[in-house]
Amino acid sequence: MGTRLKDKVAVVVGAGSSGPGWGNGKATAVTFAREGARVFCVDRNLAAAEETVGIIKGEGGEAVAFAADASSSADVKGMVQACLGTWGRIDVLDNNVGISRDGGPVELEEKDWDLVFDVNVKSFFLTCKHVLPVMEAQRKGAIINVSSIASLRAPRGIRYIAYNASKGAVNSFTQAVALMYAEKGIRCNAILPGLMHTPMIDILKNQYAAGDYDKMIAIRDRASPTGKMGTAWDTANAALFLASDEAAYVNGHLLIVDGGITIRA
Ligand SMILES: NC(=O)c1ccc[n+]([C@@H]2O[C@H](COP(=O)([O-])OP(=O)(O)OC[C@H]3O[C@@H](n4cnc5c(N)ncnc54)[C@H](O)[C@@H]3O)[C@@H](O)[C@H]2O)c1
């Protein structure tokens, strides 16, 4: 067991994964626990959060599962109260939830635009709304928002306009919070993962390869300058750095974790 997050309480929102394997939040929760954090694992799918907690406890770590829809104000308030009731503080908030819906501005249904913004943006606002006062009272805290390189670039042929726009909103939200709370000892940074091999990408197979999952994997691997997609552990290790005191002077940063895709001409 490492000590980079020793004595810290971390809330990971979206700590499960949407299918078998390692999602970004699941790997982040486990990575935080391996470095000594007590991890409050939140997911709207309780079974997914419990699976993550089972892994952490199996390795000798400390974790609690909690069911909440991060886009619901009442659920988020309950999440913060429950974490405080369990461990009395919140040092790290990892906002990891994110969904996408296919379509450009013409074909995307208005209800899907609203859904993506509720889950990808409003949820981050709600968690910050309820966690920031806790961190302010502690005079210390680290917030990590999981964005995407889709906030900067639209991959060729992929149409998910609400996802692009919502992740752009995450970046500006992150930097505004970073400035507003810097004097209070609270840091707020974002991670922009590139093409990662997580369970979530299953829903993209129609756009990439007419429904052929293996073909999509090959296309995404090839698109990466390294020849391979990243993994959830790459996101988790970036989150670990930003959560730790090693990043004490890193604030409002948009940390790209993409093997170099965004600098490719
Ligand atoms: N996989 C990639 O290639 C990639 C690339 C860039 C960014 N990201 C971002 O990484 C994050 C996590 O992605 P992942 O691939 O690990 O996804 P995932 O779907 O495997 O995991 C996300 C978890 O969040 C939960 N969740 C979703 N909506 C929720 C809500 N409203 N309330 C509570 N929990 C909710 C899901 O149940 C799931 O367990 C997302 O923000 C995503 O946009 C992923």
pTM: predicted TM-score of the whole model, two decimal places? 0.98
Burial class, 252, CB count within 10 angstroms (exposed 0-12 / middle 13-18 / buried 19+): middle
Q: Which two tokens stand for residue 24?
A: 């970004």
Model confidence at 218: pLDDT above 90: yes
Ligand 1 centroid to Cα of residue 183, in Å, is 31
Q: Which two tokens stand for residue 181?
A: 């709370």
Ligand 1 neighbourhood includes 162 CB (under 6 angstroms): no
- Marked catalytic residue, from 163, 181, 208, 213: 163
Report which of 172, 131, 100 is spatially closest to residue 12, judged by C-alpha positions: 131
Interval 109-121 mean pLDDT: 98
Active site residue 163: yes
Ligand 1 neighbourhood includes 166 CB (under 6 angstroms): no
**Domains parsed from the chain with CATH numbers:** 9-258 (3.40.50.720)
pLDDT of residue 265: 74
pLDDT category at 23 given cuts 50, 70, 90 is very high
Note the pLDDT tens digit of each residue in 61-85.
Answer: 999 999 999 999 999 999 999 999 9
How many residues in total does the chain contain? 265
Nearest CA to ligand 1 atom 20: 17
